[in-house]
Amino acid sequence: MKVKATFEEVFSRIPGPVTAEWSMGERFAVALAHGSMSIEYYAPIGLDPQIPHEQDEVYFIHKGTGELVIGEDRHSFKAGDCLFVAANVEHRFENFSSDFGTWVVFWGPKGGENDGGSG
């Protein structure tokens, strides 16, 4: 089981394959995966075309600045910040700097976890 990933190794695999959504190649790469958990590095350029994900996710901002739009709310971010997005919620990065890159952790069941009121 792989237990370590470095930024340099993961980032070297970006861009990934060309797809309908990523005409210049995918702007993310998987770093580690185990069970329902996966960790990716995400580095969009200019536009963030992502669609809602089936799992809860946490972004650990590695480089850059910008805004994470979740529904109607805008959240400014900078390197070192941590942001949560629940499963199946519309979100996207906007107004991000050209050096923007973030680690993303996905985990749990499809549809996300019930917070049990722990908010």
Q: Does 59 fall in a domain?
A: yes
Mean residue pLDDT of the chain comes to 94
Cis ω before 15 (30° cut-off from 0): yes
pLDDT given at position 115: 65
pLDDT per residue over 23-74, tens digit each? 899 999 999 999 999 999 999 999 999 999 999 999 999 999 999 999 999 9
Residue 97 lies in domain = 7-107
How many structural domains does the chain have? 1
Q: Does 79 fall in a domain?
A: yes
- The residue type of 31 is A
pLDDT given at position 114: 78
CATH, residue 35: 2.60.120.10
3-state secondary structure at position 8? helix
Q: Does 73 fall in a domain?
A: yes
Q: Does 114 fall in a domain?
A: no
Q: Does 119 fall in a domain?
A: no
Q: Does 36 fall in a domain?
A: yes
Query: Is pLDDT of 106 > 90?
Result: yes
Exposed, middle or buried by CB within 10 Å (0-12, 13-18, 19+), for 83? middle
Q: Does 12 fall in a domain?
A: yes
Q: What sections of the chain are H helices per DSSP?
A: 7-11
pTM: 0.92
Q: Does 53 fall in a domain?
A: yes
HSE-CB of 82 using CA atoms within 13 angstroms: 3
